[in-house]
Structure 1
Amino acid sequence: MRILMSLALCLLLTGCEVERKSQQNQSRTVQEKTQKVTPEKDIHQAEWRTVKQGKLNLSQVTYLSEGLKIDALVCAPQNLKAGTPLLMLEHGGFDTETDPRKCNEYAQMGYVIAQSAYRGQGRSEGKVEACLGEVNDSLALKQVVQDRLKTQGVVHVGVSLGGCIALKAAAQQKDVKGVAILVTPMDFAQQIRILRATRPDALSRWFEIFGGTPEEAPEQYEKRRPIAAAPQVNAPILNLIAAQDPLIPYKQQCDLLSVRKKAGKMVEVVHLARNGAPNPPLQQRYVCEGEGKPAFKLPEFKPQDFKNQDVFVTYYDLHHTSTAHMWKTVQDFLRTVAPLP
């Protein structure tokens, strides 16, 4: 169990060393290529260094957010059609760089992808704030990309801490077509309580970022909670949950379910096996109060189904990580709520 706790902590805080190094190596490859290109400046004074890779344009972008120079990666088809939706990919962790592999993958589908490294991460200026200033970094990048590439509508996809950024950014916009969050915490003070019991050695970084313990600085934890922004998200939410997440008590997902229902949203609740297989035996401890009996297979994603409805998917026997089935579900959701022109 301690090994699983350590793995989960790694995923939440750093994205895991092996994966992070792999992403960094890919990011450096893009950076090395783009550094040879003379940067172009746009109306926002953002610098674009773009190289062609197959049928895609890969751009290393340096833009301004609240006076800070922030590093970003943008991927787009070369034959970009007018009105193509923008996908904002919000990464997790406190020390994670952009992910060229995911950027490339979704651009191959025909979308424009934008990923901010956020303040204090990658080559960006500033300090990590944990779902505070990073929300403004995401919104600023969205504006930069939207104005230059003439995208239309936006979908936010966030993993772990990035899910918090996705929800809070989506709550401040009117052109959001959908939000997909994976293994996303709703209450950071609860994470501290868990880490006190399992990884007290990791707390110093958290306290540095948050300005103290939950008892010393409760307002700092409160203003970062994404659940407070959830009622303001008018777009459909796809919430992908790991049932046995050692860092996110399952009650947090029940709380989000309750908040969305009180906001007038219908919520389709689905329980699947770890690998996404349908019809697992019901595990009653993962049924939220007032939820009713969950479905045991994904609904057929249709545009009319997402006008006023969320989908919450619980994966049994899964810890703090994402899976291939989760990302396949995100792609199906993306195609449904934000079809290509």
Structure 2
Amino acid sequence: MRPPEFWNYREGRNGAPFIRTFLKPFSWLYARAVAKRISETQSYDPKIPVICVGNATMGGTGKTPVAIYLLKSFRRLGVNAVGLTRGYGGQLKGPIVVSDKHSAGDVGDEPLLLARHAPIWVSEARDEGARAAKSHGADMIIMDDGHQNPQVEKTLSFLVVDAEIGFGNGCVFPAGPLRENLKASLSRADAVILMKPEPAYEINDDLAEDLKGQIVIPAYLAPKDPAPKGKLFAFAGIGRPNKFFDALRRHGGELVEGISFADHYKYKDGDIENLFMLASEYGAGLITTEKDYVRLPAGYCQGVTPWPVSVVFEDELTLRRLLHPIVQRTTPK
């Protein structure tokens, strides 16, 4: 789904106060159901460290690059770190290890990106996935998403927050973007990774107030390569496509147009053919995110440029302090 614009505003007409008021009772029911599930579920303890990279809101915040960073960091230390994810958008329920035979239609887009760096288990039931990972020799598990999933006991929980929109209007779905009561969500987080659009970005007062008392680690996404030369026609089906378009412009890309699709959108042949046609009218090349690229129909990848990014932590010392006990526990002696 594409998040409604009023989710981003706490006050004024843009915040659609009438609609928000109408939806509030449904939000209370949703929040209560989430809280009940979390409090009543018996978590499975796999007896190995589990680091959860989650978020408090619907949509993308930059969780997957953080999960990739952690997987790569631990594996460089000789730790058999593996990923665990639900595999949103895929048809396979798991538990199953992602292989090069799988498509985004099988396991979702994020597992395909994660699997470039480590073994990745996809499992709709996270506890079953954790059991499978442990039985196959995993030393530790990195969960991509799952902050509101109580099925697996977590050793460390990171909450990734988009610095530009923060927690939106502060309301729980469907009146707002929150997956649960904000206070409850923050109380289970060991640290907040604050994902900024660029290093110099300053957060607003509302978000600063929301994060008061939390351990906050500022970070941002940096492109692995410069923006391609020439005219660019961009498209994206992620949580906030404009983040991708703005990043291209910020890094010198000559963007002539940007087309938005719903998050995790499953592209059809006709969609890509239309995009090629529109781009040709501008004399521009097609460019998209890595997540979108892996969802392109077979045979349409040629002629589309993916623009990969990676996470950069501004306060790596705090991150390493939080990870140190797990490093000591898992690093081969």
TM-score by length of 1: 0.30
The answer to which structure, 1 or 2, has the higher relative contact order (CA under 8 A, 6+ apart) is: 2
TM-score, normalized by length of structure 2? 0.30
